[in-house]
Amino acid sequence: MSEPLKVLVTGAAGQIAYSLVISIAKGDVFGPDQPVHLVLLDIPMMKAVLDGVVMELMDCALPLLTEITALVEEAPAFKDIDVACLVGAMPRKEGMERKDLLAANVKIFKSQGKSLDTYAKKTVKVVVVGNPANTNAFIAKKYAPSIPAENFSCLTRLDQNRGQAQIASRLGVPNKNVSNVIIWGNHSSTQFPDVSQAKVTTSAGVKSVQKAVGDDDWLNNTFITTVQKRGAAVIAARKLSSAMSAAKAVCDHLRDWFMGTKEGTFTSMGIVSDGSYNIPAGLVYSFPLKIAKDGSYKIVQDIAISDFARQKMDATKKELEEERDMACSVCEG
């Protein structure tokens, strides 16, 4: 068996982490042969809850979980980690806009960026989940100059999964038959869920989703707004933000990043832009990626961008530029 991977989960006493840590610890993410040392971080006020999570993890008697370390201080939690799942943040409540959260949350990610820079392995892979996820990832990277930009990501896989599920449901096919739904931009209501490259396997073979659905009005309106507003719909129904589906999406994101995407398919992740598709370099923007087995990735290039798509991609870019500027002034102020 290989050396254990040291995996940090922040916000470990929270609701996403409650679903996430068990999946990581039982091998759903890094495979059945990869032992894991889980490091759980939360704030001091949550220490008792964190201790309860540790008890439950112990009681699962998992063969791959070699060690559990529960902490309420940042520095030791980031020491020598291989993977950082940065979930901890103040969650959005009903009626609250993501921008309201920005000022409070980017400060957390400034501090955690510095801790990554100082204490983590330089090869650490980072997925930011806490909202505003793209901008928090931007800030974490900004304050971790010694870690390569390509090691930073934010979660837009939940949006991709939501889009995939909406298409599968509309066409009456299993989820696994739908692939290559793209999420461009911000994990917010300005995101652009794009089916122009999406495919579906039917009894008649593989078709484009656009042809299979055959209803542009539904695809350009209902589909897009349903995915954009799904998070808010879950909050309205549950009075809590998405947790089980968010945890599942973190696992999908990390598994693809560590194992690679399947031949002919791609996945969306918020990453540091290299300027592709006229998205300013440095902005953390969700792109379609092909990921190799060694974890290196490439943005899928040469996708024809229609005027409709351009306008949507630019709207979410504009929001991210505004968030970035606001976050920088909070962090530098």
What residues are designated binding site for substrate? 92, 98, 131, 162
Closest distance to ligand NAI from the beta carbon of 249 (Å): 6
Q: How far apart are CA 157 and CA 249, in angstroms?
A: 5
187: number of Cβ within 10 Å: 28
The single residue of 187, 248, 253, 290 carrying the catalytic annotation is: 187
Closest distance to ligand NAI from the beta carbon of 156 (Å): 7
- Name the one residue in this structure whose structure tokens are 């066409």: 171
Q: Which is nearer to ligand NAI, 139 or 246 (CB)?
A: 246
Q: How far apart are CA 332 and CA 145, in angstroms?
A: 16
Q: Which residues are near ligand NAI by CB under 6 A?
A: 10-11, 13-17, 41-43, 46, 87-89, 91-92, 108, 129-131, 133, 155, 158, 187, 241-243, 246
Q: Which is nearer to ligand NAI, 29 or 213 (CB)?
A: 29
Q: Which is nearer to ligand NAI, 156 or 199 (CB)?
A: 156
Show Cβ contacts of residue 270 under 8 Å, excluding neighbours closer than 6 positions.
128, 133, 134, 137, 153, 154, 155, 156, 187, 284, 285, 286
Q: Which is nearer to ligand NAI, 16 or 36 (CB)?
A: 16
Catalytic residue list contains 253: no
Classified as helix, coil or strand, 194 is: strand
**Bridge partners for 210 per DSSP:** none
Nearest CA-CA partner of 87 in 122, 136, 50: 136
Q: Which is nearer to ligand NAI, 10 or 164 (CB)?
A: 10
Give 308's Cβ-side CA count (13 Å radius). Answer: 11
Q: Would you give the DSSP letter of residue 93? A: P
Contact between 9 and 78 under an 8 Å Cβ cutoff? The reply is no
Annotated binding site for NAD(+): 42, 105, 129-131
Closest distance to ligand NAI from the beta carbon of 309 (Å): 22
Annotated binding site: 42, 92, 98, 105, 129-131, 162
Q: What is the DSSP string of 277-325?
A: GGPPTT-EEEEEEEE-TTS-EEEPP-----HHHHHHHHHHHHHHHHHHH
Query: Which residue numbers are catalytic?
Result: 187
